[in-house]
Structure 1
Amino acid sequence: MRLIIDTDTAGDDCFSMLLGMLQGKATVEAVTICNGNIPFPQQAENALKTIEIAGLAGQVPVYEGCTLPLLRRPVDAAYVFGADGMSDANYPKTAQRPEPGHAVDAMIDIVMRHPGEITIVAQAPLTNIAMAVRKEPGFAKAVKHLWIMGGTDNAMGNVTPAAEFNFYVDPEAAAIVLNAGFEASLVTWTLTLVDSEITEKELAEIEALDTPLSRFFHQVNSAAVAFSLARYGNGATFHPDALTCALALDENLIVESEMCRVDIETEGRLTRGYSSVSSSRLPDQDVADPELGAALPANIRVIRKADRQGFRDMLVAVLGKERQ
């Protein structure tokens, strides 16, 4: 498998990158940086540090992409991940530097030179992906598969009651991407709250591995632990990006999924970024209300249930590696 990981690198984004680089089933062709979790330049530094920690310094190129959403003011999540996105570890800069050129151009170049071969794991707002769609009409069909971490399955978000962070930050980009014709899968925040959770006991087991990678995980994850303790009264953490990458690497971890029609609200004030997800349990909308007309066809596979233990085992296997 050949991957591009599109990321707003902070916290769990780093662990997703580690899975992509070290799990053994993929080659990461590039890491592309998109606006999102923390101030933009630090996101590239975090990606470079993660590559260094993985033992692949200089071997995985990093390209900086869109610094702002398409139309909105930027929104970040430093209150969860720390000012540097790494629980304020303040790691020194790495010797490897970002590549010249824009991430969107790099993404288009890699995909169009290898049509049908490149899988993209999109774990940031979808600005870079939307810009690639707009710039290269053949881009969506040339991507082998697009894995998106974003949205909810008609459930509570993590920014507003209606919206998950990635879709809230750039709903226009999400709407473009979901209607571009990708072969795609969606890992929602709704799924995350069940199948990406790592409990306090499991976090202690990871810390006890005492490898360079597990120590990196413990450091980078510590702000999320503190946030969970303060907000929810327990130190469990959620790992949506790592779960997304794990499912991309091994589809046997998918327990339940459904082809759905997913549309993004771009106009509502209270519902900005809301993902409206169809279900086979609903009546046909043209029967429920003839004025609505027939529903549009499904545009993405929504993952409804994942093998939580299998995901955890994959992550632990990578973090338990002594050296690369």
Structure 2
Amino acid sequence: MDRRRVIIDTDTAGDDTQALVLAALSDRIEVEGLTIVAGNVEFDHEVENAKYTLGLAGKADEVPVHEGIRSPLQKEYETAEYVHGEGGLGGELFPDTGIESADAHAVDYIVETARENPGEVTLVCIGPLTNVAMACKREPDLDELLDEVWVMGGNVNCLGNVTPAAEYNFWVDPDAANVVLRELSTTIVDWGVTVRDSTFGPDTLGRIEDAAEDSEFAAFYDTITQQVRAFNREEMGEDATTQPDSLVVACLIEPDLIEESGEYHVDVDEREGMTRGYTLVDETGVLDEPANARVVESIDAEGFRRLFLDAVIHGDPERSLA
């Protein structure tokens, strides 16, 4: 099986780091580079979090980190340290890596890599879509130059996670989200399928805790999820975590995890106010607009859990795959 070549665009904190670990450990994915976008926490922390995670996974010398745009296209936004902790890794400030960022700006890197490798590179977007929107503006033929574009974002007919109406990535930069949806053929993994199919409760979290003494990946996960677990206990009354970004990478590693998906017209509310970032998915076709995105609707939750545990406990996400 040929390894899928990917660029991962990330606002590195919390689950972003676990998605990077999955991708770095996989024999089915070749991470060409990381691009950093404004989102979860202060930008320089995001950059350092990405470098630290690559180092943990043994890829720091192989995968360049390209710094991107430090603010949304038009709007102001708030970071999410209240969920991810100071610095974005559960409040734990890991030591600086000393690794230099790559020279090329993230937007230039995305465009040039696509131009030099037409049809060969998949773009995996697990943060706000600012870098990708600017890449679309820079290269009008980007859709034809990329293999696929996967997006973690939006909330399909369910509550959001930053406001009742919106998921965080689309809320941060709804203008960019709409540019990407208009210009690129995307596959969306939304907040709803994340909650339904990637929530880990006490049993799974206990398995990871038990493995932390022998697995540096399990220990890392246990450390960086303490803040979000505390947040979820206080806000929702349950000791649980969700893995939205890891879910995207897992679907690239093992496409058979996807049980249901549909092609729909998707739009995002760009207006300021209560519905900023709201994701409209025309599941009933009443708008009579052409479909512009594939939306993942159901994922094999047990298969995902097994793949994830194989990665963080055994260092091999494909351990149980045929």
Give the structure-1-normalised TM-score.
0.93
Identity %: 38
Match of 2:30 in 1: 27
Note the C-alpha offset of 1:268: 5.3
Asked if residue 47 in structure 1 is aligned to residue 50 in structure 2, the reply is: yes
Give the Cα–Cα distance (whole angstroms) in 1 for the partners of residues 79 and 252 of structure 2. Answer: 26
Match of 2:122 in 1: 119
**Structure 1 segment 10-21 matched on structure 2, within 5 A:** 10-21=13-24
Counterpart code for 2:237? G
Match of 2:187 in 1: 185
| Partner SS for 1:320 | helix
| Partner SS for 2:304 | helix
Give the Cα–Cα distance (whole angstroms) in 2 for the partners of residues 52 and 316 of structure 1. Answer: 20
2:258 is aligned, of 254, 257, 273, to: 254
1:243 is aligned, of 241, 247, 253, to: 247
| Partner SS for 2:18 | helix
Match of 1:289 in 2: none
Match of 1:200 in 2: 202
Match of 1:320 in 2: 313
1:77 is aligned, of 68, 75, 80, to: 80
Match of 1:221 in 2: 225
Q: Can you list the C-alpha shifts for 1:272-319, whole angstroms capped at 9, x where unaligned?
A: 11110011xx2x53xxxxxxxx62200010011001111111111111
Note the C-alpha offset of 1:131: 0.3
CA RMSD of aligned residues (A): 1.3
| Number of residue pairs matched by the alignment | 311
Match of 1:98 in 2: 101
Note the C-alpha offset of 1:95: 3.2
Contact 2:170–2:277 (CA under 8 A) maintained in structure 1: yes
Structure 1 window deviating more from structure 2 (26-35 vs 208-217): it is 208-217
Give the Cα–Cα distance (whole angstroms) in 2 for the partners of residues 134 and 75 of structure 1. Answer: 25
Give the Cα–Cα distance (whole angstroms) in 2 for the partners of residues 55 and 321 of structure 1. Answer: 15
Counterpart code for 2:255? E
1:157 is aligned, of 149, 154, 160, to: 160
Note the C-alpha offset of 1:239: 0.8
Unaligned runs of 5+ in 2: 317-322
179 and 322 in structure 1: CA distance in 2 versus 1, 3 angstrom threshold: closer
Give the Cα–Cα distance (whole angstroms) in 2 for the partners of residues 151 and 71 of structure 1. Answer: 19
Note the C-alpha offset of 1:22: 0.5
Structure 1 window deviating more from structure 2 (49-58 vs 39-48): it is 49-58
| Partner SS for 1:2 | strand
Counterpart code for 1:203? L
Note the C-alpha offset of 1:53: 0.5
Match of 2:320 in 1: none
Asked if residue 277 in structure 1 is aligned to residue 277 in structure 2, the reply is: no
1:304 is aligned, of 266, 284, 297, to: 297
Note the C-alpha offset of 1:193: 1.0
Give the Cα–Cα distance (whole angstroms) in 2 for the partners of residues 319 and 47 of structure 1. Answer: 17
Contact 1:257–1:301 (CA under 8 A) maintained in structure 2: yes
Q: Any runs of at least 4 consecutive aligned residues in structure 1 with deviations exceeding 6 A, and if so which? A: none
Give the Cα–Cα distance (whole angstroms) in 1 for the partners of residues 122 and 49 of structure 2. Answer: 22
Give the Cα–Cα distance (whole angstroms) in 2 for the partners of residues 11 and 71 of structure 1. Answer: 26
